[in-house]
Structure formats: structure tokens, C-alpha cells
């Protein structure tokens, strides 16, 4: 008879579970949309809990209760998981600032589209985030500068930029209302007939004046 061979013992899979929490955050802008798909994807990727809400993109960060709850649930070493980076803020600058703030607290960010994974980047994560922060700041400064110049030019020329239609103020009000309701730029274009560049200008000018 052959010698009895002992089977190699394999550790159960739960021994390999990470020692940090993965917290998910899902958001949609209008009641006509649903977070179900995002929630399912986030849970599939290992999130122990997923915070979700339906809220306009124009609503400030501190007025988003579920986002605030998700951030409060994170401890050093944990990770915040979203489907895409735009779930984290209203603008590129806001998103980059959020990533930077979390990184400073030792909290990681991962997007399911593979765009960013600060844990996977290791020691290079601060370098990348620093670069993104610098680019975002440059973009914000240039946008504000162009917008202020445009507003000043309109004031000096009586608000006339080459025969703009008299209904422009009405359409500007419509653009701002639709944006406040959470409509995307493309949706606003379809509803107003305005070019995307015009829609962006109207919204950015409003933000600059508000500041």
C-alpha cells in the first residue's frame, strides 16, 4: 500500500478580508433616475454599506445629508467608493478638493470606472492628487478671469454682445432654473435650444456674481 499523503490545509477565505471598511456613495440628480444600479455595483465591489440620495448637482456639499453621513462613517485607512468621480462634487475643483481632503486624513478614494484608486497608487497618490489640485486651481482661475472680463465687457457695452436676442434674459432664467432642478447641460440644451457653450457661460457667470 502506498503511503498516506496528508492534504495541504487551506485557510478559509475570510482570513484574507481587508482590515479596512469600504463605504459606498451613490447619487442621482432627479426623481426620474434611480440609484439601484450604482448601489448594486458598489455592493458587488465589497462595500459594507452604501449611502444613497437623489439630490440636485447644484446643492452644496454640506446640504447633502447622505454624503455627509458617508464621510462621517470613514476612519483612517478606510476607502470611499463611488461609480464615477463626478458623484463627489458639482465641479472638477470641488471633486479634486474632496479627494485631497480625504487623502490628508488617510482615507482612500476608489472609482469603479478605474479612473482613480489612491490605495493602489501607494506612495504616488499624493503626487497625483497634488498635480490634479494644481490643474484644477489653474482652470478655476482662468474661468473666473474670462467670466469677469466678459461681464465687464457687457457692462461697458450696455449688455449688448453683438445682437443677442431680447428673450435672452428669459432663457437665462430658464437655464438657471433647469440647472437648479438638477438637469444636465445636454438636457438644458434640448429644452432651450441654446448651445452648450452658452449654457456653461450663463451658469458660470451666475456663480461668479454669487461669489
Q: How confident is the model at residue 121 (pLDDT cuts 50, 70, 90)?
A: low
CA distance 90 to 93: 8
pLDDT digits (tens, 9 = 90+) for 21-75: 999 999 988 777 899 999 999 999 999 999 999 987 777 777 889 999 999 999 9
Contact 202, 195 (CB under 8 A): no
pLDDT at 18 over 70: no
* Number of Cβ within a 10 Å radius of residue 172: 19
> From the candidates 13, 22, 29, 150, which is the catalytic residue?
29
Query: Which DSSP helix (H) or strand (E) runs through 50?
Result: strand 49-54
Catalytic, 22? Answer no
Burial of 140 per CB tally in 10 Å (0-12, 13-18, 19+): middle
The pTM score is 0.58
Query: What pLDDT is attached to residue 38?
Result: 94
CA distance 172 to 176: 6
Amino acid at each position: 500500500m502506498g503511503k498516506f499523503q496528508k492534504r495541504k490545509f487551506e485557510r478559509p477565505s475570510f482570513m484574507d478580508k481587508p482590515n479596512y471598511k469600504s463605504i459606498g456613495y451613490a447619487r442621482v440628480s432627479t426623481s426620474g433616475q434611480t440609484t439601484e444600479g450604482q448601489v448594486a455595483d458598489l455592493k458587488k465591489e465589497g462595500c459594507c454599506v452604501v449611502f444613497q440620495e437623489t439630490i440636485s448637482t447644484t446643492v452644496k456639499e454640506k446640504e447633502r445629508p447622505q454624503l455627509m453621513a458617508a464621510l462621517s462613517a470613514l476612519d483612517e485607512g478606510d476607502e470611499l467608493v463611488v461609480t464615477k468621480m463626478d458623484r463627489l462634487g458639482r465641479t472638477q475643483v470641488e471633486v479634486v478638493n474632496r479627494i485631497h481632503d480625504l487623502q490628508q486624513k488617510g482615507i482612500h478614494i476608489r472609482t469603479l470606472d478605474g479612473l482613480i484608486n489612491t490605495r493602489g497608487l501607494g506612495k504616488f497618490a499624493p503626487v497625483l492628487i497634488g498635480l490634479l489640485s494644481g490643474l484644477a486651481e489653474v482652470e478655476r482661475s482662468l474661468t473666473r478671469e474670462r467670466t469677469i472680463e466678459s461681464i465687464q465687457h457687457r457692462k461697458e457695452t450696455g449688455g449688448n454682445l453683438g445682437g443677442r436676442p431680447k428673450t435672452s434674459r428669459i432663457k437665462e432664467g430658464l437655464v438657471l432654473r433647469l440647472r437648479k432642478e438638477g438637469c444636465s447641460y445636454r438636457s438644458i440644451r434640448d429644452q432651450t435650444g441654446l448651445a452648450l457653450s452658452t449654457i456653461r457661460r450663463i451658469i458660470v457667470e451666475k456663480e461668479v456674481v454669487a461669489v
